[in-house]
Structure 1
Amino acid sequence: MGRKVILATCALNQWALDFDGNLRRILKSVEVARSRGARYRLGPELDVCGYGCADHFYESDTLLHCFQVLKELLESPVTQDIICDVGMPVMHHNVRYNCRVIFLNKKILLIRPKMLLANHGNNRELLTVSETVPFGDGVLSTNDTCIGSEICAELWNPRSPHVDMGLDGVEIITNSSASYHELSKASRRVSLIRSATSKSGGIYMFANQRGCDGDRLYYDGCAMIAVNGDIVAQGAQFSLEDVEVLTASLDLEDVRSYRGEKCHPYLPEYRPCHRVKVDFSLSESQDVYFPSHEPIEWRFHLAEEEISLGPACWLWDYLRRSGQAGFLLPLSGGVDSSSTACIVYSMCHQICQAVKNGSAQVLEDVRHVVGNAAYTPKEPRELCGRLFTTCYMASENSSQDTCNRAKDLAAQIGSTHINLNIDMAVKAILGIFSLVTGKLPQFRANGGSTRENIALQNVQARVRMILAYLFAQLSLWAQGRPGGLLVLGSANVDESLTGYFTKYDCSSADINPIGGISKTDLKRFLQYCADKFKLSALHSILAAPPSAELEPLRHGHVSQTDESDMGMTYTELSLIGRLRKISKCGPYSMFCKLIHMWRETCSPSQVAVKVKHFFRMYSANRHKMTTVTPAYHAENYSPDDNRFDLRPFLYNTLWNRQFRCIDEQVTTLMSVQPVSIEESDGFGEDTVTQSGREGPNTSVPFTRRQEGEEFV
């Protein structure tokens, strides 16, 4: 028995219910681990069936096929002489558990269920042979060491299992995770794992899911191995490869020496672990010549880099698994649609780089998508021209500046670009209405009412959605090419908060890569793309004021801006969104926080007006979240009704008691402190906006008499 062990953890791009594909990727990871001398292979959470099965976990078929895959794993010659740790649901006493199944040489050693479940945000985990198998919270005791398991969220829990394990002498702790990407989340993972091993020593192995599992989430890998507070092996955070195996040669005596100093007999009592004896050694007697891995510095991506990489990888997984031939994007020349276009361009960059690096799997996928078995992508612009179609849909309310910005960006990224005018379609629809009613609505600028103004904006936006899908389905057919295109949306998270889009407009799409990203982050992302990809067209896009361009121009220039329509800036909206979702603030709590945060720029009464204005917009437009396009999850203040934000969509928009408390507090504050800031509300008439950037726009003057009107 020696002192050094070679361990393997991995990041796998598993797909919910793709049992054959998941089995193939598991076996490949085991094969790579064995070829590197590892005697323990750790996989991500639920890697047999895929993490995102959701209600499929209630189906008996899922359990059946998991055990069929487990049987093939047990019998495979690839899995012999290495301890394999896989994840799958297991039913015990008629209860389904999320389990690790650990086996060696055709024998199951331990089935360890997840003890602490994640049931917040995107997670809803309250779903819960001839001889008997140990089932429960135990650890493996080999001839030379002791190995314990954590599963995903257990690491994040205040009372993590690794605490008692470490105090009870468990030297190697594994974590099989399905941890999805959020901006800057990697630093929290690394911090937790460093902390877990620095307090009482030990080796920590982290495995994670990678890719789009079939939902809004992207699992970003980040497999790692740590020893005594130091990271010694780091996997990629974003990659197009389906299988990544990370190995490290580690000295058990380093753990024992570290603990000899840190762990004393007078430490508090701990819960001893149940040990399952395994007649197997992870080390070899002649391992003195094995080199030990040294600590490394983890390189974290900037937020704008993460936006460039994560959503691009998510798009690629979605495209190659959907059977479609590319993407179509309504490109308006604004920040949002341009950000979506740049993410597709980044995807093409990553594909070309992977092919250049010799990835046979990525090359095979590209050839399948483009329908050419001999094709090899050479550079991103050329590939973008094959996979990506952009479309500028002008109206009489569109400016030449936005048309030029969209055209210039399309030329620089190489997309197939279409220019068309929607006025004929809009007039045809309005003609039908006029024929039936005898009336023709007018814009407010031409003397029309608010209701007419809203309807005229919405019809433009919805016509664009119809045309986007028409061209997505038939544009390749018109060119004599096979396949269809996925329509991409481009509404950001801040607009979703206020409902600043029209239902079923061109923000309605198949998928939306920026729907969970704030406007502030998108602007930084575009500046990053301008520098990295040399896209000079982005400079004019960043300099232009955001506008939906759905109302008549004034002297050929845009008269309508998004922030004016919404009654607050995008920076203010981002902060309000975080307070609403992350800090769990209702109107009164939000007011109490913002009077301090904004004390240098706003008086209490101004803060009160902004808070009440936001909650009126939010509650009046919350129903739109029930139809929002599935969007990449990037920010943990997303208002996505379908998964992440479980709030009502029908509200009493008066918020009587809540707003009364705010008014009482304003009166109290104003009576005890001097007023040093102008007492205007900052944006004039109190309005509710039901509109959409880069498409729909509808500003509704909000009075008590009118509440509930224009609920569209």
Structure 2
Amino acid sequence: MGHLITLATSLNQWALDFQGNYERIIQSIAIAKQRGATLRVGPELEIPGYGCYDHFLEGDTVLHSWEVLAKILAGEDTMGIVCDIGMPVMHKNVVYNCRIIVHNKQILLIRPKMWLANDGNYREMRYFTPWMKHREWEDHYLPRIIQAVTKQAKVPFGDCVISTVDTCIGIELCEELFTPASPHILMGLDGVEIFTNSSGSHHELRKLYTRVELIKEATLKLGGVYLYANQQGCDGDRLYYDGCAMIAMNGHIVAQGSQFSLNDVEVVTATIDIEDVRAHRMSRSRGIQAAGSAAYHRIEVPFALSGGKFGEIDGERTLGLEVSLQEAKFHRPEEEIALGPACWLWDYLRRSRTQGYFVPLSGGIDSCATAVIVYSMCRLIAEAATRADKQVIADARRIVGEPDDSSYLPSDPREFCNRIFHTCYMGTENSSAETRKRAKDLAQAIGSYHVDLNMDSIVTSVRDLFAFVTGAKPQFRAHGGTAAENLALQNIQARLRMVLSYLFAQLLPWVRGRQGGLLVLGSANVDESLRGYLTKYDCSSADINPIGGISKTDLKKFIAYAEGAFDLPILKSFLDAVPTAELEPISETYVQADEADMGMTYDELSVFGRLRKVEKCGPYSMFTKLVHEWGAILSPLQIAEKVKHFFFEHARNRHKMTTLTPSYHAESYSPDDNRFDLRPFLYPSRFPWQFRKIDQVAAVLPDRSNLGPTADKTKTD
């Protein structure tokens, strides 16, 4: 039987890093050829990087992409291999997101993307135009820098397929796999046997399963080989592209790359027998549909993918090959939290060329989770150093200030953590001994450079300044103050912590005899942002936030996982503690608690968030859904109050979401106003029309709840 060696690659590209992106592309092609591959597929827009955003509107981005492609074609890299490379192309004064199919220093086809990703995190139609002429093609006249290399004046541009001596290749781009009428269906009926998909798909908790099932399904009924290449790493923004390059055949995974990795280049290869595809397609109904399908224009190339070591040699065929089928690998959500944000932090740290991170540890679970994610990053660095990963070792040496020729190896995660990670407990008279101890014990367990301070004198100075200027001295509620006084005194503590965080982040390296500064990490979770349960410009305001897109519920699961996986017994005390801001005086009858302050639980917030964003519910539709879901434990009136309270607090705090620290995107109901959740920030927060309708319906609905202890426990104060 004739065999094919096929492959997909995951590259850690960086927006506008044309030199670095070029080098990684060349390295991936070299690895592919070393393994005997004859077809190489790269991620979407790999030459300029996927995350260029409005830079795609600049002519420079298109120009430099052509310059990089010319450099690739001028070398020997594309000899003896078909390469599928991504970049923007301007055709007839319209910019398209394209794949350039090249072989032996020639461009075979420019295939523009037909279905663009244009929701959630993606705004592709802001930069590109979809190719609407399905199964049609035109001549594209090449720029002179390409003509000088290839000696081609023009090449086909459009929806075509590549016909080699021994098979036929069709191209899809990312979103086209996710659309109901995916191009691979009609291409497969017209005889295409190998499909390539170049993707820029980001990580989101629990999302990979959907992608894997779509890739398997693409060839289960249809038959064929599907090569999926994805960007991997931080491309310069909130998203982490989670790789997981795959090769599937006839509905089965035959090769899968890593989902989270520190590698800049990862090449996934598999050897398959194309005759298995032909055997899979022998059903009569498929044959009847195929016989009546419309034809694609075929670009012919005198090259056999099955030539060489595993295919036909001098007219003779090699022995048959048993293709190794495998189950797709998935990480649990708590493992995804341990790995995804950690890899994102590493890319951000090495590319920002700063000397480390700073986190104000409060003794609570959120800042604890942030710190443990940094420690997880250090563990990944140590593992890579143990494997003698040259790139990781070189980056680590530069970050900690060691010379290039140093013998230093970051093989001990606690030792490396001490060099790059700085933590600080900022206590006041409202802080407890328990939170101070937890912060100190955690820092000691992970190895961070820790300082401990009491900031009462600063808080008192600001309070006294206000009293001197106005003649009125604000008091806490516990001391007889009003709600306004109480809130202002809480907020000044939180905002002063932000000021101190940046002071220490800038000067702690100097204190330790080093140069440069630190990046401040935020530690507000997605639920607190959704509810607005944070002080604007407090210590949740930072440079970046690794947990800003993760729910409190998932963070607790992550901490429970890390306690055993990372051998950190101290984490149990964080799980057992009641979440509290510790901004008000503690008395015998009152201890501040987050869920009591919010008027809702973190679990309820997750439900509200998903219904609002993912299920696209307004107040009334959310109420009607929850009547069915919660009706056994809560009355319609209780549910109505919870829904109204959530929307009121979300609306009146929506302005805070416009200033959220750039956060790792991990959750489908993220309220990030800057990229993901495009909604107003000035609302009629009491929603008079909507709330009145809820009240009217709630008043006449039957009460199906058990009004016993279970319902009482969930009642809002």
TM, length-normalised to structure 2: 0.93
In 2, Cα distance between the equivalents of 1:677 and 1:91?
A: 66
Matched to 2:273, the amino acid is D
Structure 2 distance, partners of 1:206, 1:682, is 46
Of the three residues 377, 391, 409, the one matched with 1:347 is 377
Question: How has the CA–CA distance of structure 1 residues 160 and 684 changed in structure 2, closer, same or farther, with 3 Å as cutoff?
Answer: closer
* Corresponding residue to 1:329 among 335, 359, 370: 359
Deviation at 1:175, TM superposition (A): 0.3
The AA in structure 2 aligned to 1:606 is Q
Alpha-carbon distance in structure 2 between the residues aligned to 1:431 and 1:73:
67
**Aligned pairs (5 A) from 1:400-479:** 400-479=433-512
- What is the letter of the counterpart of residue 116 of structure 2? L
Q: CA deviation digits over 1:35-86, x for unaligned, max 9? A: 1111111000000000000000000110110000010011111221211111
**One-letter amino acid matched to 2:301:** V
Distance 1:372 1:226 in 2: 44
Residues 407-461 of structure 1, C-alpha deviations (whole Å, 9 max, x = no match)? 1111100101110111111111111111110111000111000000110000000
Q: Quick check: 1:139–1:275 contact (8 Å CA) kept in 2?
A: yes
Change (3 A) 1:271 1:564: farther
* Deviation for aligned residue 1:606: 0.4
Q: Secondary structure at the match of 1:265?
A: helix
Given that 1:609 and 1:681 are in contact with CA atoms closer than 8 Å, whether structure 2 keeps it comes out as no
Residues 155-166 of structure 1 correspond to what in structure 2 (within 5 A)? 155-166=177-188
Structure 1 residues 562 and 89: alpha-carbon distance in aligned structure 2, compared to 1, 3 A threshold: same
**Distance between the aligned counterparts of 1:302 and 1:674, measured in 2?**
36
Distance 1:34 1:675, change over 3 A: closer
What is the CA distance between 1:202 and its match in structure 2? 0.2
Give the residue type in structure 2 aligned to 1:368: R
Alignment of 1:120-199 (within 5 A): 120-126=119-125, 127-128=127-128, 129=147, 130-199=152-221
Secondary structure, aligned partner of 1:47 = coil
Aligned residue for 1:384?
417
Offset from partner CA, 1:216-266 (integer Å, 9 cap, x none): 000011001011011011111111000001111111100001101365333
Match of residue 205 from structure 1: 227
Unaligned 5+ runs, structure 1: 686-712
The amino acid across from 2:647 in the alignment is F
- The letter of the residue matching 2:642 is K
**Deviation at 1:107?**
1.0
**2:100 match:** 101
The within-5 A match list for 1:494-573 is: 494-555=527-588, 559-573=591-605
Rounded to whole Å, the distance in 2 between the matches of 1:116 and 1:86 is 18
How has the CA–CA distance of structure 1 residues 313 and 262 changed in structure 2, closer, same or farther, with 3 Å as cutoff? farther
1:569 deviates by 0.5
3-state SS of paired residue (1:304): helix
Q: Count residues in correspondence.
A: 681
Task: Please tell me whether the aligned partners of residues 567 and 683 of structure 1 are also in contact (alpha carbons under 8 angstroms).
Answer: no
What is the SS of the residue equivalent to 2:227?
strand
1:73 alignment partner, SS class = helix
- Say yes or no: does 1:308 pair with 2:331: no
Give me the whole-angstrom Cα distance separating, in 1, the residues matched to 2:601 and 2:620. 21
CA shift in 2, pair 1:305/1:675, >3 Å: closer
The residue that corresponds to 1:7 in the other structure is 6
TM-superposed deviation, 1:677:
2.5
SS at structure 1 position matched to 2:268: strand
1:277 paired to 2:292: no
Name structure 2 gaps, 5 residues minimum. 129-146
User: After the TM superposition, which residues 199-238 of structure 1 pair with which residues of structure 2 at under 5 Å, given as runs?
Assistant: 199-238=221-260
Maintained 8 Å contact 1:549/1:558: no
Residue in structure 1 matched with residue 700 of structure 2 by the alignment: 668
CA distance in 2, matches of 1:333, 1:676: 38
Q: Distance in 2 between matches of 1:220 and 1:578?
A: 23
Is the 8 Å Cα contact of residues 606 and 682 (structure 1) preserved in structure 2?
no
Does the Cα contact within 8 Å between 1:606 and 1:681 map onto a contact in 2? no
The offset of 1:331, in angstroms, is 0.6
One-letter amino acid matched to 1:18 = D
Name the CA distance, whole Å, in 2 between partners of 1:346 and 1:155: 33
Shift of 1:271: 3.9
Q: Distance in 2 between matches of 1:573 and 1:426?
A: 32
CA contact (8 A) 2:631 2:705 kept: no
* Deviation (angstroms), 1:371: 1.0
For the 8 Å contact 1:22–1:50, the answer to whether it is kept is yes
Alignment correspondent of 1:84: 83
Distance 2:548 2:643 in 1: 23
How far is 1:482 from its partner? 1.2
What is the rounded CA distance, in whole Å, between the counterparts of 2:716 and 2:287 in structure 1?
69
Distance 1:666 1:675 in 2: 13
Structure 1 pair 19/634, CA: closer, same or farther in 2 (3 Å)? same
Structure 2 CA distance for aligned equivalents of residues 514 and 265 of structure 1: 51
CA distance in 2, matches of 1:428, 1:290: 82
Contact 1:8 1:247 in 2 (8 A): yes
Deviation at 1:9, TM superposition (A): 1.0
Instruction: Tell me the equivalent position of 1:17.
Output: 16
The offset of 1:605, in angstroms, is: 0.3
Whole-angstrom distance in 2 between the partners of 1:533 and 1:674? 46
Aligned with residue 329 of structure 2, among 299, 304, 319:
299
Partner of 1:596: 628
Check whether the contact 2:253–2:327 (CA below 8 A) recurs between aligned residues: yes
CA contact (8 A) 1:140 1:278 kept: yes
Q: Is 1:564–1:683's contact at 8 Å kept on the other side of the alignment?
A: no
Using a 3 Å threshold, how does the CA distance of structure 1 residues 112 and 431 change in structure 2: closer, same or farther? same
Asked if 1:41 corresponds to 2:40, the answer is yes
- CA deviations over 1:361-418 (Å, ceiling 9, x no partner): 1111101111102221121111111110011000000000001111111110010111
Hey, what does 1:267 align to over in structure 2?
289
Aligned to 1:363: 393
Q: Percent identity?
A: 59
**Gap change, CA 1:579 and 1:684, over 3 Å in 2:** closer
Deviation of 1:276 after TM superposition, in Å, equals 1.1
Aligned counterparts of 1:329 and 1:282: Cα–Cα separation in 2:
53
The residue matched to 1:358 in structure 2 has which SS? coil
Which residue number in structure 1 is paired with residue 350 of structure 2? Answer: 320
- Aligned 8 A contact 1:148 1:165 in 2: yes
Q: Which residue of 2 aligns with 1:398?
A: 431
Residue deviations 1:107-165 (CA, integer Å, cap 9, x gap): 11000011011101000010203421100111101111000011001111111111111
Contact kept in structure 2, 1:249 and 1:290, CA below 8 Å? no
Deviation per CA, 1:628-666: give whole Å up to 9, x if none: 000000001000000000000000112011101101111
TM-score (norm 1): 0.94
Cα gap change, 1:106 to 1:558, in 2 (>3 Å): farther
1:564–1:29 distance in 2 versus 1, CA, 3 Å: same
Q: Match of 1:133, SS? A: strand
CA contact (8 A) 1:547 1:558 kept: no
Q: Name the structure 1 match of 2:677.
A: 645
**TM superposition shift of 1:292:** 4.5
Distance in 2 (CA, whole Å) between partners of 1:264 and 1:588 is 47
CA contact (8 A) 1:248 1:292 kept: no
Q: Indicate conservation of the 8 Å contact 1:327/1:486, yes or no.
A: yes
Contact 1:399 1:558 in 2 (8 A): no
Contact 1:154 1:161 (C-alpha < 8 Å) held by counterparts: yes
